[in-house]
Amino acid sequence: MADTVGSTILVLNGPNLNLLGAREPDVYGTTTLEDIKSAVTEYANTLGMQVDFRQSNTEGELVDWVQSANQTASAVIINAGAYTHTSIAILDALLACGLPVIEVHLSNIFRREEFRHHSYTSQAATGIICGFGAQGYLLALDAAKVTLARP
């Protein structure tokens, strides 16, 4: 795999994650997506990595970004939001991109409603991090670094 020094990690966020901080703070906390972006960018810099941090409420836009990821990134970190449980299109794009994929969820999806227990996107994931809130994104960067360092 690619050397992590100078690596760009594409960090994708799906629908409604732009509402973090205001949306269901008892489930998702009060940290905003902008707070997460700042923390991820800062932490990535300490790891010698760059991030391309994006959010969309549109499935097709997420698919387009994943499809072009192998041209600009070494790995994908994705919190597909509700599309995790519904989008075969995002799964197919993740499988086709050929990059390591780390799936992130702020909440523990397995302790929530039954419909959230199934993840299409996890079928393409190298690993899944869930239930650690915003810290999960930083753990995902660590996971990406380790994954990219493997021969």
Radius of gyration over every alpha carbon of the chain, rounded to an integer in angstroms: 14
CA distance 128 to 118: 13
Active site residues: 28, 105
What is the per-residue pLDDT for 1? 42
In tens digits, what is the pLDDT along the chain, a chain of 151 residues?
Answer: 444 444 899 999 999 999 988 777 776 677 899 999 999 999 999 999 999 999 999 999 999 999 999 999 999 999 999 999 999 999 999 999 999 999 999 988 877 678 667 799 999 999 999 999 999 999 999 999 999 998 7
What is the per-residue pLDDT for 151? 79
What is the per-residue pLDDT for 2? 45
| DSSP-derived secondary structure letter, 101 | E
CA distance 79 to 90: 11
Domain assignments of the chain as residue spans, ordered by start: 8-149
Q: Which class does domain 8-149 fall in? A: alpha beta
What is the per-residue pLDDT for 116? 66
- The b/e string for 67-94 (b: 16+ C-beta within 10 A; e otherwise) is eebeeebbbbbbbbbebbbbbeebbbbb
